[in-house]
Amino acid sequence: MNKTFFFVIMTLAFIPLWAGAQGEEGAGLRLSMGGSTTVEPIITSAMEVYLAEVDPQAELSYDAPGSTAGIRGVLNGVYDLGTASRALLLNEKEQGAVLTNIALDGLAVIVHETVPIDDISLEDLASIYVGEIKNWKDLGGPDHEIVVVNRDEASGTLGAFEELVLERIYGDDGRFIREALITESNGNMATMVTQTPYSIGYGSLAIIDRVENSGGKALTIGGIEDTAENVLTGKYPIVRPLSFVSFGKPEGTVLTFIEFLLSPRGQEIILEAKYVPLQ
């Protein structure tokens, strides 16, 4: 696992390059894309807008098998363009995978309505997920076992949480507790936590409204709320970039679609999807 979660905002260099791909070069753009379930709402909306406003002849597709599968898909030639919600592993970089950041996301820590605490430290959060803290009473809550909900191994969200929380506190000794419920997407995580008493989970900033509407809540981390402003400034402690993955430096049709997401219109789409634009 890559130890440092670099925010390589190489994206600003691309923004001026996209300027109305309505011309002949953009007509009939064909892209097969796949990867992160977190990024899926952004790409789904972006494809709809691109077809409606830029290139009605475009042929765009997106699969959401997870960040790891998206990266492998690009390296194996299955996808023209992938997406990821975690950093690249060393071997993925060595094989030619390149990230281009398009948005930021603050990982929210969510709990069921039966959990009375409102704030947690990063250290205590890590201790829950490695299995050292197992009862809510140890955090000032009720005398009840903590029900830990985690993501599946293919998830970029799991990889980001492992790096930004577990490894930050425990280094190489940070290992997820085995006795956890496993779910496969941000939406499923929100559903499982809000339906499981005394549970705790994590997911994108975009799921907070859904969690709160279902009776659950997002905890503050060390008193810091997971908001767009706190994510953009880096004040919130669990922040990751959301990225496109290309094989080598982006060029051609791949670059065209990346530039669209980095344009002002593309960044509006990201904001509408309840993630944090880079601008």
DSSP letters, 38-99, are TTHHHHHHHHHHIIIII-TT-EEEEE-S-HHHHHHHHHTTS-SEEEESSPPPHHHHHTTEEE
Tally Cβ neighbours within 10 Å of residue 271.
13
Q: What is the pLDDT of residue 172?
A: 86
Both 147 and 252 in one domain: the answer is no
Domain-located, residue 1: no
- CATH number for the domain harbouring residue 258: 3.40.190.10
Domain-located, residue 250: yes
CA distance 164 to 84: 15
Domain-located, residue 234: no
Both 142 and 216 in one domain: the answer is yes
CA distance 268 to 273: 9
Q: Which two tokens stand for residue 129?
A: 């997920």
Both 98 and 26 in one domain: the answer is yes
Q: What is the pLDDT of residue 27?
A: 62
Domain-located, residue 77: yes
Both 195 and 264 in one domain: the answer is no
Domain-located, residue 3: no
Residue 196 lies in domain: 108-226
Both 222 and 243 in one domain: the answer is no
Provide the residue type at 239 as one letter. V
Helix, strand, coil: what percent of the chain each, to 5?
40, 25, 35
Both 122 and 219 in one domain: the answer is yes
Tens of pLDDT along the chain (279 residues)?
444 333 333 333 343 344 444 434 446 899 999 999 999 999 999 999 999 999 999 999 999 999 999 999 999 999 999 999 999 999 999 999 999 999 999 999 999 999 999 999 999 999 999 999 999 999 999 999 999 999 998 899 999 999 999 999 999 888 999 999 999 889 999 999 999 999 999 999 999 999 999 999 999 999 999 999 999 999 999 999 999 999 999 999 999 999 999 999 999 999 999 999 997
CA distance 103 to 133: 33
Both 92 and 168 in one domain: the answer is no
Number of domains present in the structure of the chain: 2
Both 113 and 100 in one domain: the answer is no
pTM for this model (two decimals): 0.85
Q: Which two tokens stand for residue 168?
A: 């930050």
Q: Which two tokens stand for residue 177?
A: 């507790």
Both 86 and 67 in one domain: the answer is yes
